[in-house]
Amino acid sequence: MSIIKATGICKTYQRGREEVCALRGVDLTLEPGEFVSIVGPSGAGKTALMNILGCLDTPSCGTLTIDGVQVTGKGEAELVKIRREHIGFVFQQFFLIPTLTVGENIGLPLLFSGTPYDPAKIEILLEKVGLAHRADHLPGQLSGGEMQRVAIARALVNSPRILLADEPTGNLDSVTADGIYRLFEELHRQGITVIVVTHNRELAQRAGRVIAIRDGCVVAGS
Ligand SMILES: Nc1ncnc2c1ncn2[C@@H]1O[C@H](COP(=O)(O)OP(=O)(O)OP(=O)(O)O)[C@@H](O)[C@H]1O
Ligand SMILES: [Mg+2]
Amino acid identity at 172: L
> If you take atom 19 of ligand 1, which residue's CA is the nearest one?
43
| Domain membership flag for residue 144 | yes
The winner for highest mean pLDDT among 78-82, 132-136, 148-152 is 148-152
Give domain status of residue 93, yes or no. yes
Do the domain assignments include residue 26? Answer: no
The whole domain housing 193 covers 33-44+74-220
For the Cβ of 15 lying below 6 angstroms from any atom of ligand 1, the answer is yes
The Cα–Cα gap between 33 and 191 comes to 5
List of residues 6+ apart from 218 with CB closer than 8 A:
26, 27, 28, 211, 212
pTM, two decimals, is 0.93
Taking CA atoms, 3 is separated from 21, 81, 87, in Å, by 26, 16, 11
The per-residue pLDDT for 222 is 75
Task: Dump pLDDT digits (tens) for 6-27.
Answer: 999 999 999 889 999 999 999 9
Cα–Cα separations (whole angstroms), residue 4 to 65, 72, 102, 128: 6, 12, 31, 25
The pLDDT value given to residue 15: 87
In this prediction, residue 216 has a pLDDT band, given cuts at 50, 70 and 90, of very high
Q: What's residue 214's pLDDT? A: 96
> What is the tally of structural domains in the chain?
1
Ligand nearest to the CA of 200: 1
47 Cα: distance to centroid of ligand 2 (angstroms): 4
pLDDT of 68-125, one tens digit each? 889 998 888 899 989 988 999 999 999 999 999 999 999 998 888 888 888 899 999 9
Residue nearest to atom 26 of ligand 1 (CA): 42
CA of 209 to the centre of ligand 2 (A): 19
Check: CB of residue 206 under 8 Å from CB of residue 185.
yes
Tell me, in angstroms, the distance from the centre of ligand 2 to residue 61's CA.
20
Q: How far is the CA of 195 from the centre of ligand 2 (A)?
A: 13
CATH number for the domain including 119? 3.40.50.300
- Would you give the DSSP letter of residue 146? H
| Burial per residue of 51-60, b for 16 or more beta-carbon CB atoms within 10 angstroms, e otherwise | bbbbbebbbe
Q: Which atom of ligand 1 lies nearest, measured to the CA of 11?
A: 12
Q: Has residue 64 been placed in a domain?
A: no
